[in-house]
């Protein structure tokens, strides 16, 4: 049974977009590999983070806390807070992917911002599943390859911190976050968290200010959210 030309075109477009996203996002992995080593991790530890965690925002946050002198507990806590959103993505994607058994474990590893955006943007179930797996696999390969190359490159330097690479982690994380700050009321929430973080720095151990900022941002976001009116609900129907 031949595949209609329109569907073949749609499939090619999905794969093309998936690879483009992987190439663009995967480029950040070079930076992550370098700053991971600069923050005190070994090449093996840095690469293991990309394999096991596979969430750019969480990974940059973790090495950022370590680079700032924070402990492992604070770094892991911040990474988990940022990665919690992936659980909600999973709930949204589960009925689209229809995976079971061992495939659920593999799919769970690929549930991130990029795969979610690609999947929900497709019109048919076939294209949704193709988008998820094409984006997930290509991103996973390039992200981990980039991490290894970046880590090896940083490891070859006598002292990566002399080049200011300890500042690369927060800078890269800000670059990932910046587009989201222009959405809705995100900027005031981010500013509230930043103020709490800066005020807390002189008084608490390294890493703790970020946790306090996360709590403050969550509270500000919850209370600052405009409740839906009857008209709003009607518009979304």
In tens, the pLDDT along 41-99 reads 999 999 999 999 998 888 988 888 887 777 888 888 888 887 888 888 899 899 999 99
User: Residues 34, 150: contact at Cβ < 8 Å?
Assistant: yes
Answer whether residue 170 is part of any domain.
no
pLDDT of 14: 92
Answer whether residue 168 is part of any domain.
no
User: Residues 66, 36: contact at Cβ < 8 Å?
Assistant: no
Answer whether residue 229 is part of any domain.
no
Answer whether residue 212 is part of any domain.
no
Number of domains forming the structure of the chain = 1
Answer whether residue 121 is part of any domain.
yes
Answer whether residue 77 is part of any domain.
yes
pLDDT of 48: 96
Determine what percent of the chain falls in helix, strand and coil, rounding each to the nearest 5.
80, 0, 20
- Burial tier of 15 (Cβ tally within 10 Å: 0-12, 13-18, 19+): middle
By residue range, what is the domain housing residue 54? 5-159
User: Residues 26, 146: contact at Cβ < 8 Å?
Assistant: yes
Residues 100-142: tens digit of each pLDDT: 888 899 999 999 988 988 898 888 999 999 999 999 999 999 9
Instruction: Give the Cα separation of 90 and 157 in Å (integer).
Output: 40
Answer whether residue 199 is part of any domain.
no
pLDDT of 228: 40
Answer whether residue 19 is part of any domain.
yes
Structure tokens at 158: 């006598």
Residues 20-33: tens digit of each pLDDT: 888 887 778 888 89
**pLDDT band for position 237 (50/70/90)?**
very low
């Amino acid at each position: 049974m031949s595949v209609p030309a329109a569907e073949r075109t749609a499939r090619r477009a999905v794969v093309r977009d998936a690879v483009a996203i992987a190439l663009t996002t995967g480029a950040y992995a070079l930076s992550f590999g370098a700053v991971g080593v600069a923050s005190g991790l070994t090449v093996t530890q840095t690469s293991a983070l990309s394999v096991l965690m596979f969430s750019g925002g969480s990974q940059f946050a973790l090495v950022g806390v370590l680079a700032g002198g924070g402990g492992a507990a604070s770094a892991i806590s911040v990474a988990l807070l940022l990665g919690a959103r992936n659980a909600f993505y999973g709930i949204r994607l589960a009925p689209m992917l229809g995976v079971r058994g061992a495939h659920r474990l593999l799919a769970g590893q690929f549930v991130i911002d990029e795969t979610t955006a690609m999947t929900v943007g497709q019109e048919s179930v076939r294209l949704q599943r193709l988008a998820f797996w094409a984006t997930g696999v290509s991103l996973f390969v390039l992200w981990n390859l980039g991490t290894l190359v970046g880590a090896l490159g940083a490891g070859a330097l006598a002292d990566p911190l002399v080049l200011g690479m300890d500042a690369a982690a927060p800078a890269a994380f800000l670059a990932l976050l910046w587009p989201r700050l222009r959405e809705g009321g995100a900027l005031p929430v981010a500013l509230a968290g930043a103020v709490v973080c800066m005020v807390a720095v002189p008084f608490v151990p390294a890493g703790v200010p970020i946790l306090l900022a996360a709590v403050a941002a969550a509270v500000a976001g919850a209370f600052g959210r405009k409740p839906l009116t009857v008209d709003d609900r009607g518009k979304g129907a």
